[in-house]
Amino acid sequence: MIQNERKTRKEHVLHVARQMMTAARTAPKGKGGDIIEIAMATDEDIRRLSEEMYRLAEEMGLKFMLRDAENILKADVVLLIGTVQRTQGLNCAHCGFATCAGKPEETPCAINTVDVGIAIGSACATAADLRVDTRVMFSAGLAAQRLRYLDDCTCVMAIPVSATSKNPFFDRRVD
């Protein structure tokens, strides 16, 4: 049997995205607490994400959102990694307040945000090992957060994933 890579590519990228999700899940977490949520968007959900990014670009006046909204349409899958906010009780002051009890509710716990970053690093390392193209996007993560793709997550980042001859997320015009 002959299997042409062009015909199996999307299936392969979806498999890689699932491995990236596992890498994010198993990444170290502050105090060992699992407050990370992970999902992947495909097809129509990527289009909805792009449309929301256009709305955000207009609302916020950020032109790079328009560029990123076009970029994610070139992805086979967009990985989403977020966290619910839960104070860790470490009184580390990384959030800017001396104690967890003194931290306002709307101020994110820095440890939660660091956990997202570590999960993103693990996912992207997996992608690099498997030779697919990615880029971490705050813009698509914010759109996913607005669309509530990850329930109750207040810090969401997105990683579009592609396997083409050139990374469609890398060389980007800056307007």
**Each residue's pLDDT tens digit in the chain (175 positions)?**
999 988 989 999 999 999 999 999 999 988 888 899 999 999 999 999 999 999 999 999 999 999 999 999 999 999 999 998 888 889 999 999 999 999 998 899 999 999 999 999 999 999 999 999 999 999 999 999 999 999 989 899 999 999 998 888 876 665 5
- At residue 155, the pLDDT reads 93
- At residue 136, the pLDDT reads 97
- At residue 173, the pLDDT reads 61
Model confidence, pTM: 0.92
Cβ contact 42:76 at 8 Å: yes
The CATH number fitting domain 29-161, selected from 2.40.37.10, 3.40.109.10, 3.30.930.10, 2.30.30.700: 3.40.109.10
Sheet holding 36-41, edge to edge: 36-41, 77-83, 155-162, 133-134
- At residue 75, the pLDDT reads 97
| Range 15-32 burial, b when 16+ CB lie within 10 A, else e | ebbeebbebbbebebbee
Q: What is the DSSP string of 31-86?
A: GG---EEEEEE-HHHHHHHHHHHHHHHHHHT-THHHHHHHHGGG-SEEEEEEE---
Cβ contact 131:162 at 8 Å: no
